[in-house]
Chain A
Amino acid sequence: MNVVVVENLSKRYGSIIAVDNFNFSANEGEILALVGPDGAGKTSIFRSVCGLLNYDSGSIAVSGYNVSREFDKVKPHLGYMPQNFSLYPDLSVEENLFFYAGMFGLKKKEFSEKKKHLYQFSGLGPFYDRRAGALSGGMKQKLALSCALVHDPKVLMLDEPTTGVDPLSRRQFWDILKELRNSGSTIIVSTPYMDEVALSDRAIFIFDGKKLAEGTPAELPRLFSGKAYRADVTPTHELMEKLGKIDGLSSRRFGSSVHIYVAENDALENYDSQLETLGIQRDALHEIPPDLEDTFIQLMGR
């Protein structure tokens, strides 16, 4: 069942098109990742779904209610965690939770039960009287997530929840998300990190406000066409620039090596001489299975 349905969503800011005729839906009980670089339009989509943005055209439904017409009915079903930390730094952990519980109409008794549960999974219990502003990055995100969860929403909208969070806290955060998914929540999460796609159930690649591709972490790399090679050379700025000028090839820096992509009806042999002038010998190139990031880069370049 589709809990969130977005159809033909468009939003422009002046002459800039942030979201361009975007369609997607989220099923009940899945983690859907929206993946794309900064400025791809993720936040505009999130704000539109959460009723914070006057989008230009299209329709959005959450739990069967139209977001622009029946937003009051949508609100109890929706938990939103904005990209930037959006809780009150001068209030304590518990005061923040208490405030949001109040905003969603929880009774005092309901809150004290809910509180226990939230402290349990977030591990924030020992810090209940610490000011939110004094928490570490990872704990801040857990608190923001807890505040978005006080009213047991069916749908969680998390806009880049792990950006700027250390790797250990990121893993813990994703463990919590999986737990929530297993208990039936639908989670839509945006991320600039490709490795988080592998943790989600389904992912959508976004670039320039458009959908590039959609599928499970296993399906997505199959959308790669042609072949991918790893070149064991130092990816200097100059080298990357010259590689970019070769028609027919696409390439990207990958750690201390370079990935080079050849289209389906083409072959690496056609570029041997050009690569050699750049100092890339044939025996320095190894064919590799394309990963998610290779796929994204190739789709982006099309």
Chain B
Amino acid sequence: MDKIRYIAIKELRHILRDPRSLIIAILMPILMTFLYGYAINLDIKNIKLAVLDFDNSFESRELVGYFYNSGYFLKSEAAPNLYDPEKILKTGDANAVLVIPPGFADAVASQEEFELGLSVDGADANMSAATSSYSSMALMRFIEAKLPPGMEIPGVTLSTQVLYNPDLKSSHFFVPGLIAVILMMISALLTSITIAREKETGTMEQLLTAPVTPQQVIIGKVIPYIGLALLDGIFILFFAVFLFGVPFNGSILLMLFFGIIYIIAALSIGIFISTLVKTQQLAMMAAQLVTVLPSVMLSGYIFEIKNMPQILQYLTYMVPAKYFLIIIRGIMLKGADFTILWIQGTFLILLTIFLLTIATKKFSLKIG
């Protein structure tokens, strides 16, 4: 126990004595949070909407107002003498055309079934998906305002239903995922580098002649990095909640519990990498390849797992970020508790135990 403490103190000194790495370890996550929170904004705004109002009534103008006031639509500058939605879209001056046939006002008054037309430019899939959901939202609000409370909405069926992120803000989705990516990167990258550094500079050689066990060396070395990774996680969480308004609906303790398990999984990967390579540079490249890429690409962070080729889908079971992502989004956005998260939690714990076992088995006290 004493030896673990000595190693941890020594490792902490290394971290504190190397201001450049420390700044990277603290500042990079914050920078990335800003990047993902602001710059990489998948929110679609300023959709150019043209309106063909054949009803030309008070109600129809009110409906159009609901669209333009939603904040997502801009008035299209398409030529007003074009009366065919297809022609308007072809000019490229509009992304969508709303067609209000005559009789709309009457239908609203008598609460009859009625069909509005919405033609959307499908060239940009993201844009078209967003346009239909924003349009549904605008229409819903219009109808809700027109109906007495508690009354059923006649003839309106919404094909898309957006839960948990009603504003469809991508930062709510990205920032929690960012915690998963950054924790993985910091933990795996820094541990693999710190062990590789001892090998590269030869300090491991003298250390290994001391009466220490591989477990003591590993535990002692990773303790400060668990702290550093947690610190990073808290920073990002702080920015996520207070700057980007990402909700935090669940339990902080549960989050901390899974966070630590996830960090241990990442550290295990880092230790495992360090047993395979001899230089810091190789460790860095291998760690990025093995942790960052899968955590971004194969975790469901950006791309949906169910849309991936079957082989890649199997591969995602080995990516800790996949489980942690569901857990962290669940806790933050849905306020999910353990009764909901236990499947993902069990997977994550099992994977962590597996990785840790391999890493400690592979870590040897010989140099050749």
Chain A residues in the interface with B (C-beta under 8 A): 13, 47, 50-54, 72, 75-76, 78-82, 84-91, 95, 98-100, 102-105, 144, 147-148
Contact = CB atoms under 8 A, between A and B. Distances in A.
B209 interface: yes
A75 B202 contact: no
B212 to A, nearest CB: 6
Contact of A103 (B17, B204, B207, B366): B207
B206 A148 contact: yes
Given A47-B368, A53-B366, A86-B201, A105 B206 contact: no
Given A82-B205, A87-B203, 11 more contacts: A51-B208, A52-B208, A53-B367, A80-B209, A84-B205, A87-B206, A90-B13, A91-B10, A102-B5, A105-B3, A144-B206
B18 interface: yes
Nearest to B211: A75
Contacts of A102: 2-3, 5-6
Given A91-B10, A103-B6, A84 B202 contact: yes
A52 B10 contact: no
B190 to A, nearest CB: 15
Interface in B299-333: none
| Interface core residue of B201, B205, B366 (most chain A CB under 10 Å) | B205
A88 B211 contact: no
Given A91-B10, A105-B3, A85 B202 contact: yes
B196 to A, nearest CB: 15
B203 A88 contact: yes
A151 to B, nearest CB: 8
Contacts of A85: 202
B210 interface: yes
B17 A90 contact: yes
Contact of B2 (A53, A54, A78, A105): A105
A82 B206 contact: yes
Contacts of A91: 10, 13-14, 17
Nearest to A50: B209
A88 B14 contact: yes
Given A86-B205, A90-B18, A103-B3, A52 B367 contact: yes
Interface in B1-42: 2-3, 5-7, 9-10, 13-14, 17-18
Q: Which 7 A-B pairs have the closest CB atoms?
A: A102-B6, A103-B210, A86-B206, A80-B209, A90-B17, A86-B202, A75-B211
Contact of B14 (A54, A86, A90, A148): A90
B120 to A, nearest CB: 60
B206 A54 contact: no
Contacts of B6: 98-99, 102-103
Contacts of A53: 366-368
16 contacts: A51-B366, A52-B205, A54-B366, A75-B209, A78-B209, A80-B209, A84-B202, A84-B205, A86-B201, A86-B202, A87-B203, A87-B206, A88-B14, A91-B13, A102-B3, A104-B210
B206 A104 contact: no
B5 to A, nearest CB: 8
Nearest to A54: B366
Nearest to A71: B365
Contacts of B13: 90-91, 95
Contacts of A104: 210-211
A21 B226 CA distance: 47
Contacts of B201: 84, 86, 89
B211 A103 contact: yes
A51 B366 CA distance: 7
Contacts of A144: 206
Contacts of B207: 103
B350 to A, nearest CB: 33
| Interface core residue of B3, B205, B206, B367 (most chain A CB under 10 Å) | B206
A103 B8 CA distance: 12
Given A52-B368, A103-B3, A72 B211 contact: yes
A181 B252 CA distance: 61
A147 B210 CA distance: 11
Contacts of A99: 6, 9-10
A81 B205 CA distance: 9
A111 to B, nearest CB: 11
Contacts of A100: 206, 210
Given A100-B210, A103-B207, A47 B367 contact: yes
B201 to A, nearest CB: 7
Interface in B203-231: 203-212
Contacts of A80: 205-206, 209
B365 to A, nearest CB: 8
Contacts of B7: 103
A89 B198 CA distance: 11
A170 B205 CA distance: 23
Given A52-B366, A53-B366, A53-B367, A82 B210 contact: no
B209 to A, nearest CB: 4
Nearest to B367: A52
A79 B208 CA distance: 11
| Interface core residue of A13, A76, A88, A104 (most chain B CB under 10 Å) | A88
Contacts of A105: 2-3, 211
Contacts of B10: 88, 91, 95, 99
